[in-house]
Structure 1
Amino acid sequence: METPTGIVSVLITGCLVGLLGRLAVPARRRVPIGCLMTVLIGLLGAALGLVVASGIDAGWFLTLLLQVAVATVLVLLVSSVGGRGRR
């Protein structure tokens, strides 16, 4: 795999997983976290979900679901930390 292609695919995956994680959080629980934080959460969620999926030998669909689930939990954590400082 070429490095530029790999970096672009990782960033696209991080964006998609981060956006899906943000969409899975109910609107009343969401705090604006910005695009960069969404990508970072998506990258972290994708990486952690991939580790879990590799450990249980999951298929691609279950891997995606695990990645989005981890990103959703991370969005909830970041939103709760960000929401406390704004009150």
Structure 2
Amino acid sequence: MEISGIFSAIVIGAVIGVLGRLALPGRQRIGILWTIAVGIVAALIGSGIASALGVADTKGIDWVEWGIQIALAAVGVAALERIRARR
């Protein structure tokens, strides 16, 4: 992976992570680095799921893929919040 690929993964991960946090009600007590990490993982897994469903490569914006990624990020943020709240 080239440096531009790593940079774009971080930026897209941050966007997906923030959108996932916004989808949840209330305040989440996790940092921006955890948000980016959850977003990157959600983007990778969401792309895989969208490819498996055959909705990843469409004309224009892939709204279904983005929806899957944001939903996964919301689940990841909620799970991380619960894990951190137990400590």
Please give the range of the TM-score, normalised by the shorter of the 2 chains: 0.7 to 0.9
Q: Specify every segment of 5 or more residues in structure 2 that has no aligned partner in the other structure, as ranges.
A: none
> Which digits, 9 at most, give the CA deviation of each residue in 1:43-87, with x for residues without a partner?
0110111110000011411001100000100011011111122xx
- Which structure has greater helix proportion? 1
Stretches of 4+ aligned residues off by more than 4 angstroms: none
SS at match of 1:26: coil
Question: Which residue pairs with 2:86 in the alignment?
Answer: 84
Does 2:37 align with 1:40? yes
SS at match of 1:49: helix
Structure 1-normalised TM-score? 0.87
User: Does the 8 Å contact 1:31/1:83 carry over to 2?
Assistant: no
Calculate percent identity across the aligned residue pairs. 33
Does 2:50 align with 1:53? yes
Instruction: Determine the C-alpha separation between the residues in 1 that align with 2:70 and 2:48.
Output: 13
Structure 2-normalised TM-score? 0.87
Alignment coverage as a number of residue pairs: 82
